[in-house]
Structure 1
Amino acid sequence: MTTHPQDFAQDIRLSDLWDDPYPIYRKLRRDAPVTFVPAVGRYLITRHEDVVFAEQHPDLFSSREKDSLILRVIGANMLREDDPEHRRIRAAAEPPARPRRIRTDWSPVFQRTADELVDSFAERGEADLFADFAGPFAATNLAHLLGLPQVRAEDMIRWSQHMMDGNSNYADDPDVWARATAASGAVDEAVEEAMSRVRDEPDGSVISSMLHADDPLTPQEIRNNVKVIIGGGINEPRDVLTAGLWALLSDPAQRADVEADPGLWRNVFEETVRWMSPIGMYPRQTTADLELSGTRIPAGSRVALVIGAANRDEDVFPEPDRFDIHRAQRNHLAFGGGPHYCMGTWVARHEVGEIAWPTLFRRLPGLALDPDRPVDVGGWVFRGLLTLPVRWQRP
């Protein structure tokens, strides 16, 4: 008996998406590229061309989703605004994250963070690079960039994870809401302290930039948007860092190519963000009745631009499930598109591709996956490694 595509969508469970969404995405792209999934409470858009269309038409696919989970956790923010308000907020926050500033101001900070972390475990000969390096590396760097250097990496990581859990709490778990609310309040306190410090002495950080912009943000706008940045600014570089390492350590030939030509680290970065898509889905809400890939979507519908599916679209990326640093096609959507193109793109490219990976391979000779401890992977709204046990030759 043939299963109707809509019947398949009815049976999709959040736990299946968490464990391994790619077989589900493959079937949706083929049979129901735009379809309502009850478990998620929205239409999933899974083909590359349809996601691109939605990103290029913010007039039809608004970021101002009513009752969005991120609004419940964080409040009004630039991710859930359309232009011109989105443009105003971004213009105030973005200057410290531009390429020139990253290289002149932040690159030495990123390198110091990497070296100090490696110093803390190099003599052990083994580590979980998710917990011991990737998370603290991303969190420490972001704390400096934001203007929160006094905040510990473990606090940044906890706040980020609890808020992101709330942003993807489609199961409506009350414990998740409680943790997200507590994290949001803790960020508010840290930002208040930072604003007091930089109000009279600007320091070039994101908080300082927002406070001293030509069109400065209000304290509430600063608090809310710092929360947004803490979420993506830790999760995405952390998960790209660990996923790329996992892929290279699993493929001796591609690893040898990179070690022979360090210029390929850029390819590793772009292929990793396509292959893993750490931020796997963006929510939107339609502003008018429309039809997409043969499916009618009523005005006011909640939709999901499923980046993790679009970045493995067979019509765009040959053998999409294969990690290939020599892939010619690079028009991935990992950083979004249109006016909401990720503000932290250049930060992540530099701190991961030019600092973290080369440092780890240089300082941990014989770096290899731990054969006795498997890697854990999970998630779909945010997807990445949960552990990365490795070994190397002790000094």
Structure 2
Amino acid sequence: MSTPTTAAPGAPVVDLDLADLRRDPYPAYAELRRTAPLAWVPSVGRHLLTRYDDIVHAEKLPEVFSSREEGSLLLRTVGPNLLREDGPEHRRLRAAAEPPTRPRQVRDLWAGSFERTAHELLDGIAGRGEADLVRDFAEPLAAANLALVLGLRNARPDHIAGWSRDMMAGNSNYADDADLWLRAENATRAIDEAVAEVVRIVRREPDGSVISTMVHAPDPLELTEIQNNVKVIIGGGVNEPRDVFGVGARALLRRPGVRDRVLADPALWKRVFEETARWISPIGMYPRQLTREYEIAGVTLPAGSRVALVIASGNRDESVFERADEFDIDRPTRPHLAFGGGPHFCMGAWVARHEVSALAWPLVFSRLRGLRLDDSARDQLEGWVFRGLTSLNVTWQAV
């Protein structure tokens, strides 16, 4: 299958600056939805699909919109993996890795440890009266929880977090920055070594973790398959809960009325989570490649065409979400796209939902009395392939 490197016949060509997308992609997405819902963007080297209904349609056709993209940045970063497979091979890899991340397992196996880790992190900062809640709490919490679920007993949370950042830099390296590739290569080499050590241990002593489950699956995975899929999980398993936590916490601190309602009715934390993930999607897009000619959004794409499913744009589609640019926990429930869809629905969604909405937010807002934003700090939202706060500086009444 040849890979077209220019716009499909009839597809609009839209020039977008990657630096502008990193700062704030949403104005560009709104214009694309309005005027060019499928457009060739030279700086990205693919067609961007930006309307909700078109993205959902593409997700339902993995036999046409294939995850097996030739030369994908993810393949270059981590090697063959479950996110870049479809059909029986995807099901085999996912079935081996998924059991420890299902809702019951999260509740029964991991929730107690998640809560203890959250309290330990808060114990370490409570007396200070100020902190960066991304650096000092959300990221180490997500990394420690992920190490537990994966079974990486030989990796510290700061290792996990650093590996995730460096691999995600590679996976979004559309500018082909050599330094970013070097960072990603160093991270993946370290992960390979850590996973190999754990695999040797759990072959003798199964522990219910993801690595152990892959080793002891009915159709066991080879070491390289385990290593590559652990890399993929580390990539998304830190940034998604970390970024949803930060964005949602800042949204509530900027909206005292909404914050007070949620604190009075803890059942609303689930709504906060889903609305945060819709409003600022932690993963903004992912690639697909067409296996055959197909018409979508009024354009006939040749076989081999590369398409980005821009789920961040779909989650702001005005035809689906009224006042889509606003943060509103009372909006009518509509399925958002933040965790993908179809066979590739995010495997870690239940872990993220529990650690953020059931634990992290409630504990932070209950334990840090008088929590408020540090107005002197510059906490920036950044990114378009992955998007989140670079920091969340806050103060509170230290005891």
Contact 1:316 1:329 in 2 (8 A): no
**What's the CA shift for 1:329?**
3.0
Select 1:214's aligned residue among 204, 218, 222. 218
Contact 2:121 2:137 in 1 (8 A): yes
Contact 2:78 2:228 in 1 (8 A): yes
C-alpha distance in structure 2 between counterparts of 1:193 and 1:245, whole Å: 37
Select 1:75's aligned residue among 79, 82, 89. 79
C-alpha distance in structure 2 between counterparts of 1:337 and 1:128, whole Å: 33
2:126 match: secondary structure: helix
Contact 1:118 1:133 in 2 (8 A): yes
C-alpha distance in structure 2 between counterparts of 1:7 and 1:379, whole Å: 26
Partner in structure 1 of residue 204 of structure 2 = 200
1:322 match: secondary structure: coil
- Alignment RMSD (CA, Å): 1.1
C-alpha distance in structure 2 between counterparts of 1:250 and 1:338, whole Å: 35
Q: What is the identity, as a one-letter code, of the residue corresponding to 2:33? A: R
Partner in structure 2 of residue 131 of structure 1 = 135
Q: What is the identity, as a one-letter code, of the residue corresponding to 1:88? A: R
Q: Deviations over 1:255-310 (max 9, x none)?
A: 11101100000000000100011011011001111111112211101110001000
**What's the CA shift for 1:204?**
0.4
2:308 match: secondary structure: strand
Q: Are 2:341 and 1:343 aligned? A: no
Q: What is the identity, as a one-letter code, of the residue corresponding to 2:124? A: S
Spell out the pairing of 1:170-249 with structure 2 (5 A cutoff): 170-249=174-253
Segments of 4+ moved more than 3 angstroms: 6-10
Q: Deviations over 1:310-339 (max 9, x none)?
A: 000000000011001111133101111110
Partner in structure 1 of residue 101 of structure 2 = 97
Partner in structure 2 of residue 330 of structure 1 = 334
| Distance change (3 Å), C-alpha of 1:52 and 1:7 | closer
1:233 match: secondary structure: helix
Q: What is the identity, as a one-letter code, of the residue corresponding to 2:135? A: A
| Distance change (3 Å), C-alpha of 1:7 and 1:83 | closer
C-alpha distance in structure 2 between counterparts of 1:337 and 1:279, whole Å: 13
Partner in structure 2 of residue 24 of structure 1 = 28
* 20-29 vs 325-334, which moves further: 325-334
Q: Are 2:43 and 1:39 aligned? A: yes
Partner in structure 1 of residue 122 of structure 2 = 118
TM score, norm. by length of structure 1: 0.97
Q: What is the identity, as a one-letter code, of the residue corresponding to 1:339? A: P
**What's the CA shift for 1:221?**
0.3
Report the number of matched residues. Answer: 390
* 6-15 vs 351-360, which moves further: 6-15
1:335 match: secondary structure: coil
**What's the CA shift for 1:112?**
0.8
C-alpha distance in structure 1 between counterparts of 2:218 and 2:321, whole Å: 43
Contact 1:113 1:140 in 2 (8 A): yes
Partner in structure 1 of residue 111 of structure 2 = 107
| Distance change (3 Å), C-alpha of 1:326 and 1:77 | same
C-alpha distance in structure 2 between counterparts of 1:141 and 1:295, whole Å: 44
TM score, norm. by length of structure 2: 0.96
Partner in structure 1 of residue 17 of structure 2 = 13
Contact 1:35 1:295 in 2 (8 A): no
Select 2:306's aligned residue among 299, 302, 307. 302
Contact 2:11 2:40 in 1 (8 A): no
C-alpha distance in structure 2 between counterparts of 1:193 and 1:336, whole Å: 32
2:31 match: secondary structure: helix
* 293-302 vs 226-235, which moves further: 293-302
Contact 1:271 1:330 in 2 (8 A): no
**What's the CA shift for 1:393?**
0.7
C-alpha distance in structure 1 between counterparts of 2:106 and 2:19, whole Å: 39
Q: What residue ranges of structure 1 are gaps of 5+ in the alignment?
A: 1-5
Q: What is the identity, as a one-letter code, of the residue corresponding to 1:161? A: R
C-alpha distance in structure 1 between counterparts of 2:11 and 2:88, whole Å: 41
Contact 2:39 2:48 in 1 (8 A): yes
